[in-house]
Structure 1
Amino acid sequence: MIKSLRNQLVFALCVLVSIVGVVQGVSSYQLSKAGMSALLDLRLEQVAGRMRGGFADSLPAIPARGSQPEGDIVITIWKDDQVTPYRSTEPTLALPREAPAGFATRAVSGEEWRIYTLREPSMAIQVAQRSAVRHELAEERAVKTLWPMIVLVPLVWIAVLLVVRRSLRKLNRLGAQVQGIDVSHFQQLSTSGVPIEIRPFIDSINLMIERLAQSIESERKFISDAAHELRTPLTALQLQADNLQPHIAPGNQERFRELRSGITRSGGLIAQLLRLARADAVLQTDTLERVDVPAVVVNAVAEVLPIAMKRGIDIGADEMASAFVRAVEADVGIAVRNLVSNAIRYTPDDGKVDLSVQIRDGMVWIDVTDTGPGIAEELLPRVFDRFFRANTQIEGSGLGLSIVKAIASKYGGVASLRNRHDGRSGIVASIGFPSGS
């Protein structure tokens, strides 16, 4: 079954053109044969008329037998008082004298002949032509009428393909626009130049995009408002806990530390929710700047370096190509910090984390490679889902990679995560931005 609309249209139109071409060709063929037959009959009738006007005596009285070519017509003239023909271009051919006036098809000497008989008071004029010769002439002329159709039908096929492809080019552009729609790009489809039949469909898609954008914006606003509202009481709670610490009995210090750790985790989750809300926000083009990517990477490493040194993790740089992107520097910094923080969190003590900045295929790629345990292959498609944690034994909010993905999509970039395949365990986390240099 043909799934493509373009293929269906091309196939249907080509079949229709082919059917019309065949019908037209057969019709032209038959009409040509009929016309040629009528023309040959007219020729026999005209020759007979000439013989009636006195040309009969110009024929030889005793022509050479069998000297006439097969393709020529045969003329026989009878006088009423003679048993044998008065004149004949082929004496060996005995045309039926009793044939009725007008046209008749008779078998003579084992061949089929087309005979025209013109009767006068004192004579009968018969003009005959072999039916085989007539058929051959008619076939030859009729076949020639098929050549234009044989040439035109394939040309029409090509024209149909080009016209359909051109007509659907707008749909292809609309399809590309639809594929580019995500949570950070809700641009409605253009209806300029769209065929009238497709306009309702495009309007429905635009209405759906508008509703989806409103829904996502409501969700984003709720997350942002909730995070802001929760941050204030958590901050106050943190201050109260700090003030209360000197008054906690020694036996309750462990429980108090767990309480403070819970407050800290909640504060971290609130901060991640705020970052996620900012990452999902619509991009304002007037805020874009030329960001020095290696400098952002160095700053991100400097922030996590104390934690890495405390655990003996070696952070190094494989390659730091000079690269720039058009973005908000804070967004790029958050994405890189989240990747590096994840790498340090999942890398065991005395492990290694390597960073690199490369330019590939017009994209600036930031790769973070660790020596952690890696991730099960069946879980890799879910690592960018919000609140998903591949390893629940390690502390985290499950939002870090979601923020990275949101920031990458916001700038038309790509975020990916894969296991290492160089003989060592670990993860290669990458984020790519369109080059702005």
Structure 2
Amino acid sequence: MIKSLRNQLVLALCVLASIVGVVQGVSSYQLSKAGMSALLDLRLEQVATRMRAGFAESLPSIPARGSQSERDIVITIWKDEQATPYRSTEPSLPLPRDAPAGFVTTAVGGDEWRIYTLREPSMVIQVAQRSAVRHELTTERAVNTLWPMVVLVPLVWIAVLLVVRRSLRKLNSLGAQVQAMDVSHFQPLSTTGVPIEIRPFVDSINLMIERLAQSIESERKFISDAAHELRTPLTALQLQADNLQPHIAPRNQERFRELRSGITRSGGLIAQLLRLARADAALQAEMVTRVEVGAVVVAAVAEVLPIAMKRGIDIGADEMASAFVQAVEADVGIAVRNLVSNAIRYTPDGGQVDLSVQVRDDMVWIDVTDTGPGMAEELLPRAFDRFFRANTQIEGSGLGLSIVKAIATKYGGSASLRNRHDGQSGIVASVGFPSA
């Protein structure tokens, strides 16, 4: 399971709030029960005091047995040495006359009672209440104190979630900025509104971005300079080879052709390196125009058509939607030509290459589908790496798809590669540009 800082914070704070709520609830519950019990004791004591003040005479001398509710208190008054109570609200209940002064909890008549005894020289006053009734009253009042906690704890959970989400919103924004970066768009992360605790981390990332940008810029400059420096001597070497050909002995013609082939491959590699350097270069807004994608595709196909015809490869078009993009026309042409050239290179003689132009989700997609052998699924993510070649038996520089990716990225587009799943072998190579 992927760990989430937000989830960990929310869980930890919710657990802490829950523990505090439970402890507070238990404390309130116990304190409420103790307070209610003390209040009921005070009530018994006050009733006994009233009986001593002369209210005893108001009690009936012979009450009806069993006429009192079980929830009522029972009052019994003893006088002098009489064996029977002087007054009692429930004569059938034999309260213990010899109970000590004050409060005592004891069993009487099969029930547990809480009895308060007030002793006077000529009178003993006892006020009793069933313990079950007291427990019911105290529990009912104590449970009522738990309702605020039951409501408050979920509200605290919601508040914790909202606070943590709001606190980490800046991190999410920084994460989105980092995710949007690519080799053609390096921008330092904004430190506005960043918490103090995260500032050193953001500064470290900005320093890393700066160093990475410098390193990539150095690599781009090296590739561009090397390609420019190598192009001139290779061109001169090609001219010298052409001039030398008539003077080569017939028995050395095969070796000479291999030499010229090597020079041609080197020249192609230098040309690809120059295209890669241009694709990586910053976009110049004044060179951007409204480009008709269909016309670019037709021009790219016309350029590679002689090679396809020589090998018997059929180049067709499935769907050619009318679409326009804002770009440098040469860049779009290079991207399309690289995809088509790649498809022809990997398609066997007599195969088929189909092109289509579609507009999907405000993107203009150019799809090139071949009938080649396809590619192992685990190699597909590496297909756009520079100098990567899935099949070393087929001639190529390993830069064609890298150039396509760099051009698409420069315009905010995308490039993809996938195997066909329509019952035939082959690759579907796609490049997309934002629709104009």
> Scaled by the length of structure 2, what TM-score is found?
0.92
Report SS of the residue matched to 1:430: strand
The aligned residue for residue 154 of structure 1 is: 154
Deviations 1:362-396 (A, max 9, x none): 32211112233434445434332222233333332
Does residue 1:273 correspond to 2:273, yes or no?
A: yes
Q: Distance in 2 between matches of 1:44 and 1:418?
A: 88
Q: Distance in 1 between matches of 2:316 and 2:411?
A: 27
Q: Distance in 2 between matches of 1:287 and 1:116?
A: 102
The aligned residue for residue 22 of structure 2 is: 22
1:188-337 equivalences under 5 Å are: 188-284=188-284, 287-337=287-337
After TM superposition, the structure 1 stretch with the greater mean CA deviation from structure 2, 12-21 or 259-268, is 259-268
Following superposition, the deviation at residue 282 of structure 1 comes to: 3.5
- Listed as ranges, the gaps of 5+ residues in structure 2 are none
Q: Distance in 2 between matches of 1:431 and 1:72?
A: 89
Instruction: Indicate if the aligned counterparts of 1:2 and 1:8 stay in contact, CA closer than 8 A.
Output: no
The aligned residue for residue 133 of structure 2 is: 133
Q: Distance in 1 between matches of 2:428 and 2:222?
A: 33
Q: Distance in 1 between matches of 2:27 and 2:342?
A: 78
Residue type of the alignment partner of 1:332: V
The aligned residue for residue 403 of structure 1 is: 403
The aligned residue for residue 164 of structure 1 is: 164
Following superposition, the deviation at residue 66 of structure 1 comes to: 1.5
1:60-75 equivalences under 5 Å are: 60-75=60-75
The aligned residue for residue 123 of structure 2 is: 123
Q: CA RMSD in A?
A: 2.3
Q: Distance in 1 between matches of 2:391 and 2:348?
A: 13
Instruction: Indicate if the aligned counterparts of 1:184 and 1:283 stay in contact, CA closer than 8 A.
Output: no
Deviations 1:228-280 (A, max 9, x none): 11112222223333444454455544444433333222221111001111222
After TM superposition, the structure 1 stretch with the greater mean CA deviation from structure 2, 326-335 or 277-286, is 277-286
Residue type of the alignment partner of 2:161: L
After TM superposition, the structure 1 stretch with the greater mean CA deviation from structure 2, 165-174 or 17-26, is 165-174
How many residues are paired up?
436
The aligned residue for residue 45 of structure 2 is: 45
Deviations 1:69-112 (A, max 9, x none): 11111112222354432221112222222333322223222322
Following superposition, the deviation at residue 30 of structure 1 comes to: 0.5
Deviations 1:153-176 (A, max 9, x none): 223223323332332233233223
Residue type of the alignment partner of 2:322: S
After TM superposition, the structure 1 stretch with the greater mean CA deviation from structure 2, 414-423 or 20-29, is 414-423
Q: Distance in 2 between matches of 1:373 and 1:135?
A: 84
Report SS of the residue matched to 1:422: coil
Residue type of the alignment partner of 2:125: I
Following superposition, the deviation at residue 140 of structure 1 comes to: 1.2
Residue type of the alignment partner of 2:372: G
- Listed as ranges, the gaps of 5+ residues in structure 1 are none
After TM superposition, the structure 1 stretch with the greater mean CA deviation from structure 2, 151-160 or 352-361, is 151-160
After TM superposition, the structure 1 stretch with the greater mean CA deviation from structure 2, 203-212 or 410-419, is 410-419
Q: Distance in 1 between matches of 2:95 and 2:376?
A: 101
Structure-2 change in CA distance of 1:246 and 1:21 (3 Å) = same
Residue type of the alignment partner of 2:344: I
Residue type of the alignment partner of 1:133: V
Q: Distance in 1 between matches of 2:53 and 2:400?
A: 112
Report SS of the residue matched to 1:78: strand
Report SS of the residue matched to 1:192: coil
Structure-2 change in CA distance of 1:373 and 1:45 (3 Å) = closer
Instruction: Indicate if the aligned counterparts of 1:113 and 1:130 stay in contact, CA closer than 8 A.
Output: yes
Report SS of the residue matched to 1:106: strand
Residue type of the alignment partner of 2:41: D
Structure-2 change in CA distance of 1:202 and 1:47 (3 Å) = same
Report SS of the residue matched to 1:181: coil
The aligned residue for residue 59 of structure 1 is: 59
Structure-2 change in CA distance of 1:71 and 1:387 (3 Å) = same
Q: Distance in 1 between matches of 2:234 and 2:112?
A: 114
Report SS of the residue matched to 1:45: helix
Report SS of the residue matched to 2:267: helix
The aligned residue for residue 343 of structure 2 is: 343
Residue type of the alignment partner of 2:258: E
Q: Distance in 1 between matches of 2:146 and 2:244?
A: 103
> Scaled by the length of structure 1, what TM-score is found?
0.92
Q: Distance in 2 between matches of 1:349 and 1:400?
A: 21
Deviations 1:178-201 (A, max 9, x none): 222222222222222222222222
Residue type of the alignment partner of 1:69: S
